[in-house]
Chain A
Amino acid sequence: GAGVSQSPRYKVAKRGQDVALRCDPISGHVSLFWYQQALGQGPEFLTYFQNEAQLDKSGLPSDRFFAERPEGSVSTLKIQRTQQEDSAVYLCASSLGEGGWSNEKLFFGSGTQLSVL
């Protein structure tokens, strides 16, 4: 596609529900990142994929958060047993090259706004 696509655009969940957020990066982009953006804050790093390999998950806030990219393209961020503090915008970004030495710019999706009631 022309850009990074995320779905759904909005998600409302009851506390305790599981949610799955999808990211479709730009075709051919090797690197994929997930960020969490709380209201009034900048994006916070969650996890990084190089193709299908999850090389860095140091930013995931708890073991309730899980991400995958099984075929090296589409990625899913799953949050189990959602809590109110999980309410945020979840941003996906991709870049063409590998993340290790990369100084490349990131291409961001529009995000999924998650509200946990």
Chain B
Amino acid sequence: AQSVAQPEDQVNVAEGNPLTVKCTYSVSGNPYLFWYVQYPNRGLQFLLKYITGDNLVKGSYGFEAEFNKSQTSFHLKKPSALVSDSALYFCAVRDNLYNNNDMRFGAGTRLTVKP
């Protein structure tokens, strides 16, 4: 079985400062890890994913995430936050077992970037 936890319901940062949104996971096999963002009245949009290889993954809109196997974490980061980054962020994991169609999402972290 797989699960994912986002320990922070809310993250507040000032524009221009670095941001981190935390995510930890649990899987039986090896993980496929994803970050999605949800703007109001919009569907979830893909930001980035980790499948294998380099632990630092770069994605859309300047976001990146670092896969840490020993800490079972996949934190989302951005060096300099923008007000337009304010949204709801979801971490998701799929165990890379065949026929595993269940992508598990965290409860989400609301990011607010203040001018």
Is the A/B pair a real complex?
yes
Structural contact, A109 and B43, CB atoms closer than 8 A: yes
Measured CA separation A59–B101 after assembly (Å): 10
Measured CA separation A3–B46 after assembly (Å): 13
Q: What bracket does the count of chain B residues touching chain A fall in?
A: 20 to 34
The A contact surface, by secondary structure, is: loop
Closest to A92 in B: B43
Give the A interface residue count (CB, 8 A).
28
Q: A: which residues have CB within 8 A of B?
A: 3-4, 33, 35, 40-45, 48, 55-56, 58-59, 91, 93, 99-101, 103, 105-111
CB distance from A99 to the nearest CB of B (A): 5
Asked whether A91 and B43 contact (CB < 8 A) given A55-B101, A100-B99, A103-B49, the answer is: yes
Cβ–Cβ < 8 Å partners of B107 in chain A:
40-42
Structural contact, B101 and A105, CB atoms closer than 8 A: no
CB distance from A110 to the nearest CB of B (A): 5
Measured CA separation A109–B101 after assembly (Å): 18
